[in-house]
A and B are shown apart, each in its own frame.
Chain A
Amino acid sequence: MGRRVAIGGTIAVVIVFAAAVFFVKRGLPTFGRQPASKAAAAAPAVPAPPGRKIKARLFYVADEGTRLTSVERDVAYGDSPDDQAREIIAAQVAPVVEPLISAIPPGTTLRAVFITKSGDAYVDLSREARAAHPGGTVNELLTVYTIVNALTVNLPAVSRVQVLVDGKAVETLSGHVDLRRPLAKNLAWVQ
């Protein structure tokens, strides 16, 4: 009897261990530089007050409504370009109060950011970026170039940005702006 319990216990331990290994492996990124989703999801909407900060230019809808305006803000310091990119976008998509108006659809959160060696950044936003998008070419251009410019203006390591939604490449957010390719910095959309 005691022997049976011992064997049963051993099998249970092995199964638990195997399951743990399996899930840890499943969670590991497949490509060289994958989004670190956990860290991004945990990033608070407002950067934590203690710790080192950098100055970053963030983008909001200008008063005239068809262009962006830039505002300098303190953003938490990131150890690597990926970390810094994540902090900047987390601050950029965080809700703001008037007179600032954000071009990011309400409820949108950052899922992940990763930067390739060639300087293309992939910014993965939650499904609200599409589902809650109010539509219109101007709104969509301002949403997209808020993200593109927030990284290309503040991080020399980033030359182009592609916006992903819910982990996938998308054609557009609301039917107008082509998101199938990474987009370069464009200050024509900034006042």
Chain B
Amino acid sequence: MNARPISSFPVASTAAFLIVLAAALSSQTAPPPALSLLSKDGRRALPIALVADQEFVALDDLAAAFQLTVREESLGAVTVSYKGKTIVLTPDQALASVAGRLVSLPAPPARNGRRWLVPVEFISRALSLIYDTRLDLRKPSRLLIIGDLRVPRIAVRYDPLGASGRLTIDATPRANAAVTQDAEHLTIKFEADALDAANPPLSAPGSPGLILGVRLVDATTMAVDLGPRFAGFKAASQPVDTTMRLVIDVVATQTDTTTVPTQQAPPPADLPPSFGQPASTFRTIAIDPGHGGDDEGVKSADEAKEKDLTLAIARRIKSVIEARLGLRVLLTRDDDRSVPVDERASVANNNKADLFISLHANGSMRPATSGLSIYVAAFDKEAAQASAGGGERVPTFGGGSREIELVPWDLAQTRHLDQSAAFAELLEQALHDRVPLAPHAVDRAPLRVLESANMPAVLVELGYLTNPEQAKLLATDVFQNTIVQALFDAIVKFRDALPSGGTR
């Protein structure tokens, strides 16, 4: 989908046209696509090699791209130098010494013939500390932005509103956009150097005759293809946190509105009153069934597996919430497979989920321990400060500077902790009289899967599979339906208490 080699290296930044891999690309079959290096001089590709599920880049490719000096030392260490600053790598050590400071890497450097390979994270965790220009590694988009370029992440969503519809286009960090109309499309031009967007940004909007699709035209422009029912539009921009939200209301022709209603699917009868009101932006929930594949999680004495229990309950939640609340429910896995932790958060983040719920079953060394507990992420002070400090002044092309907000992927949750705790409390209330709770029903802990979730997020430990009685209870329909009902009640209360801006 993406791995087209770039034969020439265009000078104009307008040629820096980004196509980001759709999440659907199967990681098992295709070789990993290259990392796109984007600078004001254009775009070039940096090959990625996959070793034991870890993405690596070759040190000599990095050296060529960044004018680094790479030298093998007599004791087997490898030094990487740039303008008098040095990184020392040691074989078999998942650590780098960066100008005297230790930095952890997800894997040790690997050797492939005469070439040294380093994990992709080497760029963000080590190289960025000695390089004199800002390096922004966006691993999920396979993008490395060099220097001060404005490359907002773009998320596009379409919601039918009766016969008409609404396009919501979020640009993060904020980028203004101008919307113009010609005969067959709306053109959306962003004030940016490039766009970090899926291609196409939106497929199959599900509005026959009104909007046919949204596509990328060039580095900074998108087009909305219009159908015969299109009558007019109204566009408005509004900042939401670090995002600039562009809302385009698309109106269908009168004749269609009178003839089409019979073709429109009727809304579910028991829809809660706030659904469908334009003010509500709470639309998507991500449910994460813990573990999967080789990673079975906790096992009970009679071999009931955590991975099967979490998937069964996740599927129940999806069918009930989608049918009764009309919200979209995404599962981070819908079969028995192993999913990396970052991919679980990516599913929620890339789909702009408004709530993330990870499902697990607990284990204790003491078999009598029982009860459900809810976890909210915890960060140490330094991490929280690093994230809160967020804003950074960077120079702009035309002179002067502007403030951009930087939130590291690992710390995305820091901005949502209050709402995560609020949801945890609502869920505890909903569960209180229905299922056995652990002595500390709500806890805070540095849990990996919650930290990267860029929305309110909780992890629910449904009960202890190491407790034989509780293991039997967890397998029953009654227990599983009770959990689903409690989650349903908590989600409704949470949504209804939100301000109109939603959770973002």
Within A149-179, the residues touching B (CB, 8 Å) are 160, 162, 164, 167-169, 171-172, 174-178
Given A135-B297, A137-B447, A183-B446: A61 touches B366 (CB 8 Å cut-off)? yes
Residue pair A134, B365 in contact (C-beta under 8 Å): yes
Beta-carbon nearest neighbor of A61 in chain B: B365
A31 contact set on B, CB distance < 8 A: 88, 90, 95, 97, 102
Chain A 103-124 interface mask (CB, 8 Å, partner B; 1/0): 1000000000000100010000
A138–B363 contact, CB under 8 A? yes
- Contacting pair A134 B298 (CB below 8 A): yes
State A116–B101 Cα separation when bound (angstroms).
10
List residues 156-177 of chain B with CB under 8 A from any CB of chain A.
none
Interface residues of B in 444-484 (CB under 8 A from A): 444-449, 451, 459, 461, 464-466
Residues of A contacting B76 in the complex (Cβ-Cβ under 8 angstroms): 26, 30
Please tell me if the beta carbons of B363 and A135 are within 8 angstroms of each other in the complex: yes
- The stretch among B104-112, B260-268, B428-436 that forms the contact with chain A is B104-112
Cβ-defined contact, B369 with A65, below 8 A = yes
A8 beta carbon closer than 8 Å to chain B = no
Contact B446 A178 (CB under 8 A): yes
State the CA gap A167–B369 with chains docked (Å): 33
Also in contact, A137 and B362, with CB within 8 A (given A26-B76, A169-B106, A180-B104) = yes
Q: Taking chain A's interface residues, is the majority helix, strand, or loop, or is none over half, making it mixed?
A: loop
Q: How far is the CA of A28 from the CA of B90 in the complex (A)?
A: 12
Query: What is the CB-to-nearest-CB distance from B300 to chain A, in angstroms, rounded to a whole number?
Result: 11
- Least CB distance from B372 to A in Å reads 12
A92 in the interface (beta carbon within 8 A): no
B92 an interface residue at 8 Å Cβ cutoff? yes
* A55 at interface, CB cutoff 8 A: no
Do A171 and B366 have beta carbons less than 8 Å apart?
A: no
Number of residue pairs A-B, CB distance < 8 angstroms? 138
A164 → B minimal CB distance (Å): 8
Q: Which residues of A contact B444 (CB under 8 A)?
A: 188
Task: Kindly state whether residue B43 has any CB partner on chain A within 8 Å.
Answer: no
Contacts of B464 in A (CB 8 A): 136
Contact between chains at A183 and B447 (CB < 8 Å): no
Whether the pair B365, A65 counts as a contact (CB closer than 8 A) is yes
Q: Please, how many angstroms separate the alpha-carbon atoms of A25 and B75 in the complex?
A: 7
B residues in contact with A102, CB < 8 Å: 365
CB <8 Å contact, B102 and A116: yes
Point out the residue from B105, B365, B383 that lies within 8 Å of A169, measured CB to CB: B105
B75 near A138 with CB under 8 A, answer no
Contacts of A63 in B (CB 8 A): 366
Question: Which residues on the B side are within 8 Å of A167 (C-beta)?
Answer: 92-94
Q: Is A66 among interface residues, defined by CB-CB distance under 8 A?
A: yes
Q: Using CB atoms, name the residue of chain B closest to A143.
A: B365
B489: min CB distance to chain A, Å: 24
> Which residues of B sit under 8 angstroms from A188, Cβ to Cβ?
443-444
Q: Are B106 and A139 in contact (CB under 8 A)?
A: no
Q: A31-B102, A136-B298 are in contact. Are A66 and B440 (CB under 8 A)?
A: yes
Q: When chains A and B are docked, how far (Å) is the Cα of A30 from the Cα of B107? A: 17
Cross-chain contact B341 with A137 (CB below 8 angstroms): no
- Give the complex CA separation of A175 and B295 in angstroms: 9
Interface string of A63-86 (1 = CB under 8 A from B): 111110000000000000000000
Nearest B residue to A28 by beta-carbon distance? B75
A101 touches B365 (CB 8 A): yes
B156 nearest CB across to chain A (Å)? 32
A184 at the interface (CB under 8 A from B): yes
Q: Which residue of chain B is the closest to A180 with respect to CB atoms?
A: B104
- Taking a contact as CB atoms under 8 Å apart, the answer to whether A171 and B106 are in contact is yes
Using known A-B contacts A64-B369, A135-B298, A176-B360, determine if residue A183 contacts B380 with beta carbons closer than 8 Å. Answer: yes
Interface residue B77 (Cβ < 8 Å from any Cβ of A): yes
The CA-CA distance from A175 to B415 in the complex, in Å, is 23
The residue in B74, B75, B298, B363 that gathers the most chain A C-beta atoms within 10 A of its C-beta is B363
Report if B364 contacts A (CB, 8 A): yes
Which single member of A28, A103, A137, A180 contacts B365 (CB below 8 Å)? A103
Contact A137 B102 (CB under 8 A): no
Chain A proximity of B337: nearest CB distance (Å):
14
Contact A137 B297 (CB under 8 A): no
Choose from A139, A172, A183 the contact partner of B364 (Cβ within 8 Å).
Answer: A139
Residues from 260 to 317 in B contacting A, C-beta threshold 8 Å: 290-291, 295, 297-299, 306
- A to B CB contacts below 8 Å, 16 in the list: A30-B93, A31-B88, A64-B439, A65-B364, A65-B369, A66-B364, A136-B360, A137-B373, A137-B375, A137-B445, A169-B104, A177-B445, A178-B446, A180-B106, A181-B383, A188-B443
Task: Please name the 4 residue pairs, one residue from A and one from B, whose CB atoms are nearest each other, closest first.
Answer: A136-B363, A65-B369, A65-B366, A169-B104
> Interface of B with A (CB < 8 Å)?
74-77, 88, 90, 92-95, 97, 102, 104-108, 290-291, 295, 297-299, 306, 341, 360-366, 368-369, 373, 375, 380-381, 383, 410, 438-440, 443-449, 451, 459, 461, 464-466
Could you list which residues of chain A lie within 8 angstroms of chain B, going by C-beta atoms?
A: 25-26, 28, 30-31, 61, 63-67, 101-103, 116, 120, 134-139, 141-142, 160, 162, 164, 167-169, 171-172, 174-178, 180-181, 183-184, 188
20 other A-B residue contacts (CB within 8 Å) besides A139-B365, A175-B448: A30-B75, A31-B88, A61-B366, A64-B439, A65-B368, A116-B102, A135-B297, A136-B306, A136-B361, A136-B364, A137-B461, A138-B373, A141-B445, A164-B94, A167-B93, A168-B94, A171-B106, A171-B448, A176-B360, A177-B446
